[in-house]
Every structure is written in structure tokens, then in C-alpha cells.
Amino acid sequence: MSGYPNYITVGRRVYLVRRQKDITLRDFSKMTGLPHTSIHRIEHGSVHSKEATLHKLLDTLDITVLTDVKLESQFDSIYQEIFPTMLYYDYAKAKELAKPLVENEAFYLRSSRFLEFHLIMFMVGVYTQYQWDKIDYYYEACAIMEPFYGVERREWFHMMKAIYLQKKNRDSEALSFINHLLSSMNNTHYKAMLYYLKGVIFLSDYTQYNKVLDNMNHSQKLFEEHSSFRRSNHVKAVKQRAYIYLYRFDDFLTSFAQSITYAQQKGDFELYYYIHLNKAIYHNIIGEYEAALNNVGLCRLRTEIYYLNRIYSLYKLFRDDEAYAEILNFKKAELDLLSPLVKSFIELVEMGLEDDKSDAYMQASMKFVDSAIEEKDYILIKAGVSLLTRVLKMRRRYKEAYQYSAKMLEIIENIN
């Protein structure tokens, strides 16, 4: 095993691969002829085993060990740089730093840097969606390796897991996990992030908007106490959406003015784009569709919220050719983490552009509104009802149009 890292690293590599292959300790004991208690101690680095024993474990699992001084040095350099890069939210640079790791993935998965490689790729994937198609693999590998993390790294991993669950639309699981973490989390920054995540999750349920503000206020306070003002301002941006949905328009406009000043002074483009999407949502809610388009036009990030607001505004303005072109752009974008409900709404608009007088369109509109109500997504309920009541009135089905309008009014009353 000349040139191979120490027995602790070997033990952890054996542990990871054994767990990935779903082999129990007792089964592995039978496969190797070694006592399961001895294998456990080797995996956890509590015994310095002979080289022959380690070889036997590696060979049984068909583990190939690779060494390359140049690539290992490259990894160490990236590892030192990528964490502060993520800390300061420079996600574009983080993805560039991670590219050499991806290019040499086959090596790093079999090198002494395998543990840190999984951690980096999980972190970059969660925050930037880079290599998102592999995020489940990175998460599962990191979860297996959790027993080997120290307290600080374990808290970091738990915070990242909460973000991962939220981005995978596993909201109930994320909330349960976050509530468990908040009682034991020592790192104040991570705790502030957990409150932030709770607020973001509640934002998708119109019955929980006041909880959005409660959690965001906790998050904002913790960030500001530790001088994390950039993150604090991003918390305020999410609060703006809650203000809009709660019809607290004065609070929204005041907060927007403060945020735009901060974003311009600090050159925070991520915040700048986000709050202009907020402004577009605000204008769409009050029926100012040209103003909504103007604000969407100030955003350079092509997210699902961007396409949703732009397509909806164009459709409401009867600018059908532009709306259809934007739908094509949306399809070409192939966005990650797309909400199924947003996708359904855009498909509904496309159907309406082709023929909004057909029975099929009316039935699809009814089905969409019912789904949005079930999901408690206020914005899409309001947009769907707007489309549905129009087509019902066109067909002189006034009673049904009134019933859906009444549902909308009931939801608005419940929100307030």
C-alpha cells in the first residue's frame, strides 16, 4: 500500500463503500473472514491494522486506490479557496472552482480526498444547482459519512441538509428536521439560516404568511447581531413577498425602497433581481401588467418566477405572440427545481393561446385552480382564477364564475 494514505482514511473509505453497497457488518464479516467487531474498529479508525488486513477489506469491496500528487495538490488549493468563496456568496466563482473537481471526479472518488470531495460537491450543488443531477448521490454519501464529522462540520452538514430538503420540495420533512435542529444548533449563523428556510417554506402556503414574517424576523435579528448584513437584506427581500401576499402594500413599498438602495450601493445583483421580481408580483396582483413587465425586464436571472410573471403579464395584455415566444424560451431553459404547479400554469396559458374557447381549456383551468387551492399557493390561485373566470364569463356560465370569484375573496379574507 505504498503511497496510500493512513489507516484512518482507508477505514472510512471501506465504511462508505460498504454502506453504499448495502452490506451489513455481519455479512461483510462472512465475506472477509474477519470478526465484525474488528471491521467496525478499522472503519472507525480506532485500531492500526496490518497492511494485509486493509488490502483484504479493499479487495473484497473492489475498491481501487488512486494517488496523484499533482491532482491532490490541486484539490487542496481549491478546498482552501472554495469555502470562503461560498461564505461571501460568490456562486459563479464557486462553480468555476468546482469545474476541475468535476473533470477529475473519477480520481477524487478513489483518492484520499474522497470525503472532502463529497462535501464540496454537495455544498456547491445545494447553493448553485451545479451538478444538480448528482445531488442525491452526494447527499447520501455525506449522510453516510456523518459519524466521522466533528461538531462544527456536523452542524454545517445539517444546515445544508435542511436546504437540500427544501429545494427538493420535501417541505414537511424539511420543517420537521429544522424544528429538531433549532433546539440544538449552536452556530448562530446556521440557526439564522434555519429560521430563514422555515420562512421560505411557509411562503408557499397562504395560511402561513404571518409565520413567514415571524421566522424572517428571527433570522434577520440573528444575522444583524453578527453583522451579516448582506444575508439580512436577503431576508428582508423574502419578507417583501409576505407583505405583498398579505396586502400590506405600504410596508412592501417602504421595504423595496430600502432594498433597492442597499443593492445599488453594494452592487448586490442577486438581491437587485430578486426584489424587482417582487415588484413584478406586486404589479400583477393589482393588475398593472405593463409595470410588471418593466420590472421583470430588470431581472437578468431566468428563474421560474421570472417566466411565470412575464408570461402571465403578456397573456393578460393580449400580447399573444410574445407570450408564446416566452413559453418557448421557458421550455428551452429546462430549469432545475421547477415547481410542478408553475409548469402546469404555463402549460395552461399555452393551451389558452391556442384556443381559450374550447371545453378542454375550461376543464383544464378548473382542474388547475382546484390544484392550486389544494396546494395553498396564493399567487397561482389568483392567476388561475383570473383566467378561469374570464373563460366562464365568455361562455355565459356566470354562476360558476361567481363561485370561483367568491372562493378567491374567501382566501383573501383568510389571509388578512
Looking at residue 5, its pLDDT comes to 60
**Distance of alpha carbon 138 from alpha carbon 108, whole angstroms:** 13
Query: Of 323, 294, 321, 318, nearest to 307 (Cα)?
Result: 323
In a domain, 228, yes or no: no
Domain interval for residue 377: 339-416
Helix (H) or strand (E) holding 111: none
**Distance of alpha carbon 290 from alpha carbon 293, whole angstroms:** 5
> Taking residues 248-256, what's their average pLDDT?
97
Q: Are residues 123 and 99 in the same domain?
A: yes
Q: What is the pTM of this model?
A: 0.87
What's the pLDDT tens digit per position in 29-77?
A: 999 999 999 999 999 988 888 888 999 999 999 998 899 999 999 999 9
Domain boundary (108, 123, 148) is at 148
Per-residue CA distances from 361 to 351, 358, 384, 385 (Å): 7, 5, 12, 13
What's the pLDDT tens digit per position in 215-229?
A: 999 999 999 998 889
Q: How many domains does the chain have?
A: 3
The string over 73-82, giving b where at least 16 C-beta atoms fall within 10 Å of a residue's C-beta and e elsewhere, is ebbeebbeeb
Provide the CB-side half-sphere exposure for 120 (13 A, CA).
Answer: 28
Non-local (6+) Cβ contacts of 45 within 8 A are 7, 8, 11, 12
Looking at residue 407, its pLDDT comes to 79
What's the pLDDT tens digit per position in 355-385?
A: 888 889 989 999 999 999 999 898 998 898 8
Domain boundary (93, 118, 148) is at 148
Q: Are residues 54 and 77 in the same domain?
A: no
Per-residue CA distances from 141 to 1, 60, 256, 322, 387 (Å): 25, 20, 41, 45, 46
CATH number of the domain within which 12 lies: 1.10.260.40
Q: Assess whether pLDDT exceeds 90 at residue 286.
A: yes
**Distance of alpha carbon 137 from alpha carbon 253, whole angstroms:** 43
In a domain, 19, yes or no: yes
Q: Assess whether pLDDT exceeds 90 at residue 332.
A: yes
Q: Are residues 403 and 360 in the same domain?
A: yes
In a domain, 354, yes or no: yes
Non-local (6+) Cβ contacts of 21 within 8 A are 61
Q: Assess whether pLDDT exceeds 70 at residue 3.
A: no
Domain boundary (148, 173, 203) is at 148
In a domain, 227, yes or no: no
In a domain, 413, yes or no: yes
Q: How confident is the model at residue 1 (pLDDT cuts 50, 70, 90)?
A: very low
- With H, G, I as helix, E, B as strand and everything else as coil, classify residue 112: coil
Give me 60's grid cell.
473484497
**Maximum Cα–Cα distance for the chain, whole Å?**
85
In a domain, 328, yes or no: no
In a domain, 221, yes or no: no
Q: Are residues 55 and 75 in the same domain?
A: no
Q: Assess whether pLDDT exceeds 80 at residue 4.
A: no
What ranges make up the beta strands (E) of 240-355?
Answer: none
- Residues 341, 372: contact at Cβ < 8 Å? yes
Q: Are residues 25 and 47 in the same domain?
A: yes
Mean pLDDT lowest for which of 7-16, 79-88, 149-158, 212-221? 79-88
> Taking residues 254-276, what's their average pLDDT?
94
What's the pLDDT tens digit per position in 381-398?
A: 889 888 888 888 877 888
> Taking residues 201-226, what's their average pLDDT?
94
